[in-house]
């Protein structure tokens, strides 16, 4: 068992690095689907990407800072909060995708238009509440839509983050 400690794979810094690499992978997959598969992200997809980016930023900050246990706890809580926020957005997206067609919110202008012509707070509200565009399911794997897989990823990132509270020498 001493050889495991020497590998330093049990240290929080390693797990935060793994989590940040996971976030890079998730963002890369989003870019792949957008630019190679021509799947335009809806407002909730963009909001989820922002949450993934923020979670990765917290994880990478923990890696570069390499704090003592109190700092690890703080980064773990921040990372979990960020991931749970993204999970809440994913849950909203899944809910909208499962609404009956007559209950789906109306579509709104494109994000670029809203950013140029609406107050920022209104654009953020629209991005977080979802639109009719968010109800469309363009891609599935094993019968689950992209927001379901993203929710699973957020839950895994939150768990990875929180476990670091108890992961110390």
Q: What is the pLDDT of residues 62-100, one digit of tens each?
A: 999 989 999 999 999 999 999 999 999 999 989 988 888
List b or e across 54-88, with b for residues whose CB sees 16 or more CB atoms inside 10 angstroms. bbbebbbbbbeeeeeeeebbebbebbbebbbbbbe
Query: Which CATH superfamily does the domain covering 11-163 fall into?
Result: DsbB-like (1.20.1550.10)
- For the whole model, what pTM was predicted? 0.85
Q: Is the pLDDT of residue 4 over 50?
A: no
* Domain layout of the chain by residue ranges: 11-163
pLDDT, tens only, 7-43 = 556 789 999 999 999 999 999 999 999 999 999 888 8
Residues shown for the chain:
169
Residue 121, burial from CB neighbour count under 10 angstroms (0-12, 13-18, 19+)? exposed
């Amino acid at each position: 068992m001493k050889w495991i400690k020497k590998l330093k794979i049990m240290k929080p810094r390693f797990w935060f690095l793994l989590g940040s690499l996971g976030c890079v992978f998730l963002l890369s997959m989003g870019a792949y689907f957008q630019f190679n598969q021509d799947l335009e992200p809806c407002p909730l997809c963009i909001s989820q990407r922002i949450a993934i980016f923020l979670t990765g930023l917290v994880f990478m900050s923990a890696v570069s800072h390499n704090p003592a246990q109190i700092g690890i706890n703080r980064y773990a809580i921040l990372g979990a909060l960020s991931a749970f926020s993204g999970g809440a957005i994913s849950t909203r997206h899944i809910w909208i995708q499962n609404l009956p067609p007559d209950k789906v919110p109306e579509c709104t202008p494109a994000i670029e238009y809203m950013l140029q012509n609406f107050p920022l707070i209104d654009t953020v509200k629209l991005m977080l509440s979802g639109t009719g565009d968010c109800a469309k399911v363009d891609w599935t794997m094993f019968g689950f839509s992209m927001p379901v897989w993203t929710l699973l990823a957020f839950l895994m990132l939150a768990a990875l983050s929180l476990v670091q509270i108890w992961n110390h020498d």
